[in-house]
Chains A and B, each alone.
Chain A
Amino acid sequence: MLPDLKEIGDKITQNNIWKSIFRHGYEDTPRNRMLQILGNVWLHIHPTTVTKGSINISFTWCLGGLTFFVFLFETLTGVLLMFYYTPDVNRAYADMLDLSNNAIPLGRLLRNTHRWAGHAMVITVCFHMLRVFLTGSYKAPRQFNWVLGVILLVLTLLLSFTGYLLPWDQLGYWAITVGTNMAGATPFAGYQGPFAELFGFTIDNDIRFGLLGGTSIQAPALLRAYVWHCIGLPAMAGGLMILHFWRIRKDGFSGRL
C-alpha cells in the first residue's frame, strides 16, 4: 500500500516546531513572485518581470550568467585553495603535490575544478562576447556596457594568466616567461622595445621589471602573481561586474520585443 503523501506532509508541517521555523507557506501569486525577486538580496539584481523573448535559451545561451557563476565558483574554490597553498618558491610546488596526491582531503578535485573552471571562464566569456555581438546587443543605449565587458574580458584573461605561475612548475614558469617577455618589448616602456632609450628604460626599471619585481621570474614574481590573482584582479573584476550588471538593468535588456 502506498503511503498517503498528503497525510505525511501534513504531519511534518502542521505542528508547532515547523510553524516556529516557517511562519507561513508560499502562495504562488503574482505579488509573491515579484516579492521573491524584490525581497531577496541575491535575486534582486533581476527585474521582477522580463519579456518572454529575452530569456530564451537560444537567445542568450546563459553565457553571461554562466560566466558570473564560474567566477563565484572560482572564488569559492580559490579561497579553499588559499588555505593549503603558500606563495613561496620553496613551498609552492610541494603544496601542489600535496593537493594532487590528495594528502589534503579532496585536494585533487579542488585543484582540478579550479583549474578547469578557470579555462571554462575564458571560453564562456569569449562566447558571451560573440553572442552579444551577433545579437547586436551592444547597440544604443548599451554601448558603454560593451566597453565594460571588454575590460572584464581582459581581466578574465589576466586572472587566468596570473594563476598560471602559481604551481611553480615548468609549464607555468616558462609560459609566464614567454608572456612577461612581451612586456619587455613594449614600445617606449619596455627595455627591449622600440624607443626604450628615449626615457632611459633598462632591464631593471622597465614595465616588465615592475610586473615581475625583478629582472627574472623569482620569489617576488610569484608573490606578485599571487596577490594580483587573489586580491587585485578579483577586486577589480568584482567591482566592474557590479557596474556591468547594474547597467543591464538601467539600459534595459536587449531581445526582440
Chain B
Amino acid sequence: MANPEATTLKPEPRQTQPGPEKIHTWPHLVAKEFLCALLFLVVILLYSYYVDAPLRELANPGEPENPAKAPWYFLGLQEELVYFDPWFAGVVLPSLIIIGLMFIPYIDFNHKGNGYYTFGERKFAVTTFSFGFLLWYVLIIMGVYCRGPFWAWFWPWEKWTLAFPTPPPLWSLPAPVGVLLLLAYFGLGTWLPARRWKDFYQQLGPVKYGVTMFLLLTMIGTILKMGLRLGFSIKYVLQTPWFNI
C-alpha cells in the first residue's frame, strides 16, 4: 500500500541557481579521452617500432655491472647514497617523501587555490612542491647521465675511463659538534621562521607547523649535506656507534 502522506506531498520546486555551465560528458569528455588514448597509442607504437627495449647479456651473479644502476626513477635515491648511508638514502628518505606527500592535504591550511592554477595565492606551497619535484628529477638526471664506473662523475660527453683522479679523503665532524649542529639546524630552523612569519605559525598551530618544518628542513638539509660533502669533503655530520648521518 502506498503511503497516503507521500502522495499528498508536493515535490519541492527544483533549485535553479545559475550554476557553472554544464556540458554532456558524451560526447565532449569521452571524445577527448578517446583522442588522448589514440594519440598515446600512436606515439608508443611508433617509438617502440624504432627504439628497442634494452636487453644486455644473460644475468651473471659473478660479474657485477660497473656502474650498477637502479631503474631510472630510483636514481635520485641512488645518487643520495653518495652523501648518506643506505639506511637513510634508501629507506628513511623515500619513506619520509611518501609520508610527507600524504600529509600535504592535512597540513595545507590555505583554502584558496582549490581547483585552478595559481601561484600568487599559494606562493609557499607551490614553491616548495615544485622545488622538491625539480630536485627529484635533477638528481635522476645526474644519476642517469653523469655517473660512470664506481659512480664517478662524468659529463655526458666525456668518455668513461677508470683513470679518474682519486677523490680527496673524507672526514667527519666530532660527535658533540654534530649533535649541536643538527640540534641548531632543526631547532633554529623551526623557531626562527615561526618568529618571522607569525601568521603562518598561528594559522598552522604547533603540530602542523612542526610537521611542515620538519619535512621542509629535511629536504633542505639533504641538499646542504650534499654541499658539505662536495665542498668540504665531510662524510658524516653526526657519527655514532649505531648510525651515521
Distance between B66 CB and nearest chain A CB, rounded to angstroms: 9
- B155 within 8 Å of A (CB atoms): no
Whether B58 and A66, one on each chain, are in contact in the complex, defined by CB atoms closer than 8 angstroms, is no
9 closest A-B pairs by CB = A182-B90, A143-B105, A185-B86, A112-B48, A173-B59, A115-B53, A174-B68, A254-B115, A194-B243
For the complex with contacts A130-B130, A164-B71, 13 further pairs of A-B residues with Cβ separation under 8 Å are: A48-B25, A50-B28, A65-B37, A73-B41, A100-B55, A129-B101, A136-B112, A136-B115, A173-B61, A175-B70, A185-B86, A185-B91, A186-B87
Cβ of A185 to closest chain B Cβ, rounded Å: 3
Binding site for B on A (CB under 8 A): 30, 33-34, 36-37, 43, 46-55, 57, 59, 62, 65-66, 69-70, 73, 89, 93, 96-97, 100, 108-109, 111-117, 119-120, 122, 126, 129-130, 133-140, 142-144, 146-147, 150, 153-154, 157, 160-161, 164, 167-175, 177-179, 181-187, 190, 192-195, 216-218, 254-257
B108 to A139, Cβ gap below 8 A? yes
Interface residues of B in 97-112 (CB under 8 A from A): 98, 101-102, 104-106, 108, 111-112
Instruction: Say whether B24 contacts A48, CB under 8 Å.
Output: yes
Do the beta carbons of A139 and B105 come within 8 Å of each other? yes
CB of A170 within 8 A of CB of B104, answer no
CB contact between B105 and one of A52, A111, A146 (< 8 Å): that residue = A146
Distance, CA A164 to CA B54, complexed state (A): 11
Show 17 A/B contacts (Cβ-Cβ < 8 Å), sorted by A. A30-B24, A33-B27, A36-B30, A49-B22, A50-B25, A52-B22, A62-B32, A97-B55, A100-B52, A109-B45, A122-B73, A136-B115, A168-B59, A171-B55, A183-B90, A185-B87, A257-B115
Q: Does B11 contact A (CB under 8 A)?
A: no
Q: Known contacts being A70-B40, A142-B105, is A50 close to B23, with CB within 8 Å?
A: yes
Interchain CB contact under 8 A, B91 and A193: yes
Q: How far is the CB of B165 from chain A (nearest CB, A)?
A: 25
Q: How many residues of B contact A (CB 8 A)?
A: 76
**Residues of B close to A140: CB separation below 8 A:** 105, 111, 114
Which segment, of B2-10, B116-124, B199-207, faces chain A? B116-124
> Chain A: interface secondary structure?
helix
Whether A170 pairs with B105 at a CB distance below 8 angstroms is no
B86 touches A182 (CB 8 A): yes
A-contacting residues of B (Cβ < 8 Å)?
Answer: 19-30, 32-33, 36-37, 40-41, 44-45, 47-49, 51-61, 63-65, 68-74, 77-78, 85-87, 89-92, 98, 101-102, 104-106, 108, 111-118, 122, 125-126, 129-130, 133, 242-243
- A65 CB contacts on chain B under 8 angstroms: 33, 36-37
Nearest-CB residue, chain B, relative to A218? B61
**In contact, B52 and A138 (Cβ under 8 angstroms):** no
Quick check: A36 and B115 within 8 Å, CB to CB?
no
Cα(A41)–Cα(B59), bound, Å: 45
CA distance in complex: A257, B21 (Å): 8
Measured between alpha carbons, how far is A108 from B45 in the docked complex, in Å?
A: 11
What's the nearest-Cβ distance from chain B to residue A190, in Å? 7
Instruction: Say whether A160 contacts B73, CB under 8 Å.
Output: yes
Q: Are A257 and B36 in contact (CB under 8 A)?
A: no
> Whose C-beta in chain A lies nearest to the C-beta of B63?
A170
- The answer on a CB contact under 8 Å between B69 and A133 is no
B27, B90, B133: the one contacting A130 at CB < 8 Å is B133
Q: For the complex, give the distance between the alpha carbons of A183 and B243 in Å.
A: 16
A217 contacts across to B, CB distance below 8 A: 61
A43 to B31, CA, bound (A): 12
In the complex, A52 Cα to B97 Cα: how many Å?
35
Q: Within the complex, which residue of A112, A144, A177, A255 is in contact with B51, where a contact is CB–CB below 8 Å?
A: A112
Q: In the complex, which of the residues A48, A52, A70, A187 contacts B87, with contact meaning CB atoms closer than 8 Å?
A: A187
The residue in chain B whose Cβ has the minimal distance to the Cβ of A62 is: B36
CB distance from B115 to the nearest CB of A (A): 4
